[in-house]
Amino acid sequence: MIKKFLILTLIFISFSSKFSYALVEIDITRGNLDPLPIAVSPLFVHKNNLKNKEFKEIGAKISEVIEGNFKRSGLFNPLSKESFVQEPEIAHLKPRFEDWKLIKAQALVTGKIELENEKLRVEFRLWDVVAAKEILALAFTTVPNNWRRVAHIISDKVYQRLTGEKGYFDTRIIYVSEAGPKNARIKKLAIMDQDGSNNKYLTLGNELVLTPRFSPTNQLVTYLSYFKNLPRVYLLDIETGIQEVVGDFPGMTFAPRFSPDGKKIIMSFAEGGNSDIYTMNLETRVVEKITDHPSIDTSPSYSPDGKYIAFNSDRSGLQQIYVMRSDGSNVKRVTFGNGLYGTPVWSPRGDLIAFTKVRKGRFYIGVMRTDGSGERLLTENFYQEAPSWSPNGRVLIFYRETKSNAKGEGFSAKLWSIDLTGYNEMQIETLTDASDPSWSSLLTK
Amino acid sequence: MTKSILLSVLFHIFMIFLTILTFPFMTKKPIDLPPILSVELIQISDLTNIPFAPKAREIIEKAKEEERLVSEQAPPSSKKKEKPDKIPLPNDEKKKKEIVKKKQNPEEIEPEIKQTSDFEKKELFDPNQIAALIDKAKEETAETTKKQKTLTQSSIKSSIISGLTLSEEDALKAQIFGCWSIPLGLPYNKNLLVRIKLKLKPDGTILKSEILDHARMNSPGQGFYKVLAESALRAIRLCQPLRVPPTGYEKWKEMQLNFDANDMLKG
């Protein structure tokens, strides 16, 4: 009986398979790499606050700041507001997706602002226009003067929701502001938002300052300053303005950088024509020698997990990049290409090292894997160096100098940014000439 | 007796041993096999479904007509025959007239054709055979159309049994390539493949779409996957109705699209 049943089912299966079709499978391996078209509607102002003229403009300003961030990122294409059909108020409540589809928008940002007990309340929504649904909605309350910061936070949230990685808009950049003739430059420490606004000077310009670097908490800055013609590594608290010398070294210290936990400063100490890498614990003030070699070892940079250090050294005869364990053991040369390599900076993602390369008198900013493979040169110029990573590891900021003529005119130094694709290169506007930029981590984590 | 048997056995064993040793396979090296080449079998449509451009058709037909006219009214070889008669003689006028007449009457050209070389003869066009040629052409076209008809039937059969034909698949791919905005912020070192199963209406609009690895959407550290999956869904929605073949709904009413951004982002 069971045998018969089994045979029957087998026959049935063998017949039935003749009438079923194999699932059609299609591989889509190509697509459109153009920036995503996004519409950022002006944030509408609550009717109770329309009389307040200053406040009335904030809604439009916030949307402009968001648009600016998106445009600079190179990943989004903010659409012209002139093509918007729907009023901001209605769009925020329930957008007519067909209207937004018509102007080819794939995502839409709408929002509303109101003043509640002297506090600014900003509400925003992100809509997937094609799927016709809301995909993100958040509200923030802050003091009205803080509206720019809110715009950056909204940009970060939208960026993260649409790209899958954290944004980098709510960040600051510390740099060296330069003014005056090339042989007598006045250099001050300056800090600004990543889009160039809210510029502030941290030092007066009496002493020469170089290579400022943020601590992971963004509250402290370590930099090199010449005090009484002696270059030393300093530590500055941005909020209190208190400044101190790092360590009691008998000679010159330079190229400082924080460890990922913010507890140590790693730097170079030069004595008698030899420079080695040292760390100083900021809590215990204990100084530790990391490298011990008769060559020049400098520009140390920790990996994000704090286990490795990348640095450059001329121990092979030419300046090249090396990687070692954080205790100084297991030193390995990672660059073998033609030219000189310097200023290695470990990516916050941990997968890449950015560097400056000099070859045949030209300067390149490039990236490579941490073992030195996969070198990619992103940009080339007459003089450029000192790359610093955005907190999400997608963009590099660096400075570029232009050549001066025989009279010494025409010299300038400007900040530039480039993303990992190497295509989205742009200048960052600064009030004065600028060099040695360092990107902070995200202010809101 | 036993001794002789034993000797015989030993002798035989010795002989067998000798023959084994002299066998060719004992001495020859193993044959070197050529390296195995992997061949990918793809399905190619029996008929290329390139739409026939109406403009091109017009031009081709016009050209065909012109050819026909030229061959019927003024065979190129007959013109050549006039060359020897170019010396103006008083009696020529009549002859010329005759020739003109002869041109219009193909039967009368024959004697002049006889003067041509063997090579030219081959090139010559026999106006008498035009009708026959046309008939033959008709027969041929009839045959080819017959063949085509049988091919289309067989191709439909084959495409019903298996998946889409190559040209149908290409049309669909080309459409979706244009709609898919790949998120540029995706990590380079991750698996960037999203598989989406679709149920389609006969007109190519989407009845239902389902992400096959849905569990990955909300798993930690896979935030990029959600972004990638959403971009793929957006592409499908932007593209609909999909460019599906007009026939064989049963074979493509369910379809799986594998969106793979690895090649694009890793280069």
Residue pair A39/A88 in contact by the 8 Å Cβ criterion = no
Residue pair A134/A125 in contact by the 8 Å Cβ criterion = yes
Among A200-209, A327-336, B71-80, B193-202, the least confident range: B71-80
pLDDT top residue among B132 and A430: A430
Q: What is the pLDDT of residue B214?
A: 82
Q: Do B230 and A131 touch (CB under 8 A)?
A: yes
Token pair 């992100």 in the structure block, residue: A126
Instruction: Identify whether A136 is part of a domain.
Output: yes
Instruction: Identify whether B257 is part of a domain.
Output: yes
Cα B190 from Cα B210, distance rounded (Å): 22
Mean pLDDT of chain A: 89
Say if residue A91 is in the same domain as residue A197. Answer: no
**Does any CB of chain B come closer than 8 Å to the CB of residue A134?**
no
Token pair 């025989």 in the structure block, residue: A406
pLDDT tens, A312-347?
999 999 999 999 999 999 999 999 988 999 999 999
pTM attached to this predicted model: 0.73
Average of per-residue pLDDT across B240-256: 88
Instruction: Identify whether A15 is part of a domain.
Output: no
Cα A152 from Cα A70, distance rounded (Å): 10
Say if residue A374 is in the same domain as residue A400. Answer: yes
C-alpha Rg value of chain A to the nearest Å: 27
- End of a domain among A163, A183, A218? A163
Residues of chain A neighbouring B194 (CB-CB closer than 8 A): none
Q: Is pLDDT of A66 > 90? A: yes
Total domain count, chain B: 1
Say if residue A84 is in the same domain as residue A209. Answer: no
Tell me, what CATH number does A124's domain have?
A: 3.40.50.10070
Say if residue A182 is in the same domain as residue A147. Answer: no
Say if residue A154 is in the same domain as residue A176. Answer: no
Among A200-214, A247-261, A302-316, B87-101, the least confident range: B87-101
Q: What is the ipTM score, two decimals?
A: 0.75
Q: Do A25 and B256 touch (CB under 8 A)?
A: yes
- End of a domain among A125, A144, A163? A163
**Does any CB of chain B come closer than 8 Å to the CB of residue A162?**
yes
Q: Do A21 and B250 touch (CB under 8 A)?
A: yes
Instruction: Identify whether A246 is part of a domain.
Output: yes
Say if residue A239 is in the same domain as residue A386. Answer: yes
Angle between helices B223-239 and A147-163 (to 10 degrees): 80
Domain coverage including residue B210: 166-266
Total domain count, chain A: 2
Tell me, what CATH number does A430's domain have?
A: 2.120.10.30
Where are any strands of DSSP class E within A199-351?
200-201, 209-214, 220-227, 230-237, 243-245, 252-258, 264-271, 274-281, 287-289, 297-302, 308-313, 320-325, 332-333, 340-346
Given CA atoms B117, B123, B125, B131 in this order, what sign does their dihedral have? positive
Model confidence band, residue B76 (pLDDT cutoffs 50, 70, 90): very low
Of B178, B258, B263, the CB nearest to A32: B178
Domain coverage including residue A307: 172-439
Q: Do A28 and B230 touch (CB under 8 A)?
A: no
SS3 content of chain A, % helix, strand, coil (to 5): 20, 45, 40
DSSP state of B127: G
Q: Do A164 and B183 touch (CB under 8 A)?
A: yes
Instruction: Identify whether B187 is part of a domain.
Output: yes
Give the minimum alpha-carbon distance from A303 to chain B in angstroms, rounded to a whole number: 18
**Number of residue pairs across A and B with CB atoms under 8 Å?**
124
Q: Report the DSSP pairing between strands A133-142 and A107-116.
A: unpaired
Say if residue A51 is in the same domain as residue A144. Answer: yes
- End of a domain among A163, A193, A215? A163
pLDDT tens, B5-58?
999 999 999 999 888 877 766 666 666 777 777 776 665 554 455 555 566 667
Say if residue A87 is in the same domain as residue A216. Answer: no
Cα A38 from Cα A55, distance rounded (Å): 25
Q: What is the pLDDT of residue A370?
A: 93
**Does any CB of chain B come closer than 8 Å to the CB of residue A19?**
no
Nearest to A396 by CA among A374, A425, A372, A369: A425
Scanning every residue of chain B, which has its alpha carbon at the shortest distance from the alpha carbon of A130? B234
Half-sphere exposure of A244 (CA within 13 A, CB side): 9
Where are any strands of DSSP class E within A326-373?
332-333, 340-346, 352-359, 362-369
Cis bond leading into B241, ω under 30°?
Answer: yes
pLDDT tens, B138-162?
555 445 444 444 444 444 444 444 5
Give the minimum alpha-carbon distance from B48 to chain A in angstroms, rounded to a whole number: 19
Of B224, B230, B260, the CB nearest to A28: B260
Assign 3-class secondary structure to B139-171: HHHHHHHHHHHHHHHHHHHHHHHCCCCHHHHHH
Instruction: Identify whether B231 is part of a domain.
Output: yes
Average of per-residue pLDDT across A416-437: 92
Model confidence band, residue B240 (pLDDT cutoffs 50, 70, 90): confident
Scanning every residue of chain B, which has its alpha carbon at the shortest distance from the alpha carbon of A162? B227
pLDDT tens, A41-61?
999 888 877 777 778 888 889
Instruction: Identify whether A45 is part of a domain.
Output: yes
Instruction: Identify whether A14 is part of a domain.
Output: no
Residue pair A121/A113 in contact by the 8 Å Cβ criterion = yes
**Consecutive H or E run containing A90:** helix A88-93
Give the minimum alpha-carbon distance from A165 to chain B in angstroms, rounded to a whole number: 7
Q: What is the pLDDT of residue B66?
A: 60
- Complete DSSP assignment for B197-234: EEEE-TTS-EEEEEETTGGGGGSTT-HHHHHHHHHHHH
Residues of chain A neighbouring B237 (CB-CB closer than 8 A): 130-131
Cα A420 from Cα A317, distance rounded (Å): 31
Tell me, what CATH number does B196's domain have?
A: 3.30.1150.10
Average of per-residue pLDDT across B242-266: 86
Say if residue A432 is in the same domain as residue A315. Answer: yes
Q: Is pLDDT of B99 > 50? A: no
Average of per-residue pLDDT across B165-172: 87
Q: What is the pLDDT of residue A12?
A: 53
Say if residue A142 is in the same domain as residue A286. Answer: no
Q: Do A31 and B180 touch (CB under 8 A)?
A: yes
Say if residue A269 is in the same domain as residue A393. Answer: yes
Instruction: Identify whether A291 is part of a domain.
Output: yes
